[in-house]
Amino acid sequence: MIDIPYKSLDEVVYEPDKSSVWGNKKRPAEERDRMFNRIVQQENWIVEDVGRPCFSEGLKQADMIILLEIPLRIRKRRIALRWIKQRLGIEKSLYAPRYEMLKCMLGWAKGYDAGKDELFERLIPYGDKLVVLQNQKETDDFIRSLQGAGTVKMSIVN
């Protein structure tokens, strides 16, 4: 196992809010940015979901950028399975796992493939440190290659 602090940036963007129908609310931008900057100032870090424009500094500071290019059908299956686990209380989530959220997540997955978020354009300047993983074997091999690594600053885009 890699002993490097990991942070899902959904935890930086959102905070729990039981009064909200979604189960969370957006943090003020200043608080979000302060939290993110604390993360990337650490010696080692792994952040997930720097595809959002507000986290472009994570792309700049990362030693490696990992792009998970998993086929849409597999992503949809994983989204649905994860949502079911969250509904059953087997897996924690930062949002209320309602049917509307499942529809949003499936729509975001489809929009990603269509390039709606312009992520691919934002990654062009970082081609020298971009690693694209397309299946579980490549991911497992990559993780094994990191074991025992020194300083690691990694952004995972999915």
- Asked if residue 85 belongs to a domain, the reply is no
- Are the beta carbons of 82 and 106 closer than 8 angstroms? no
- Provide the pLDDT for residue 48: 82
- Tokens 């299946």 belong to 135
- Full residue range of the structural domain in which residue 150 is found: 6-70+117-157
- Asked if residue 90 belongs to a domain, the reply is no
Q: Cα(110)–Cα(76) distance, rounded to whole angstroms?
A: 9
- Asked if residue 104 belongs to a domain, the reply is no
CA 113 to chain centre: 16
108 band by pLDDT with thresholds 50, 70 and 90: confident
The total number of structural domains in the chain stands at 1
- Provide the pLDDT for residue 109: 84
DSSP secondary structure letter of residue 27: P
- Asked if residue 76 belongs to a domain, the reply is no
- Asked if residue 28 belongs to a domain, the reply is yes
**112 or 95: which leads in pLDDT:** 95
- Provide the pLDDT for residue 84: 96
Q: Cα(157)–Cα(132) distance, rounded to whole angstroms?
A: 10
| Crossing angle between the packed helical segments 99-113 and 72-87, to the nearest 10 degrees | 160
Count the alpha carbons within 13 Å of 92 in the hemisphere toward its beta carbon.
5
- Asked if residue 102 belongs to a domain, the reply is no
What dihedral do alpha carbons 131, 136, 142, 144 form, nearest 10°? 170
- Asked if residue 127 belongs to a domain, the reply is yes
Q: Cα(29)–Cα(68) distance, rounded to whole angstroms?
A: 27
**65 or 51: which leads in pLDDT:** 65
- Asked if residue 23 belongs to a domain, the reply is yes
Indicate whether 70 pLDDT > 70.
yes
- Provide the pLDDT for residue 50: 60
Edge-to-edge strand ranges of the sheet holding 153-157: 6-8, 45-48, 153-157, 64-68, 130-133
Indicate whether 86 pLDDT > 70.
yes
Q: Cα(46)–Cα(64) distance, rounded to whole angstroms?
A: 10
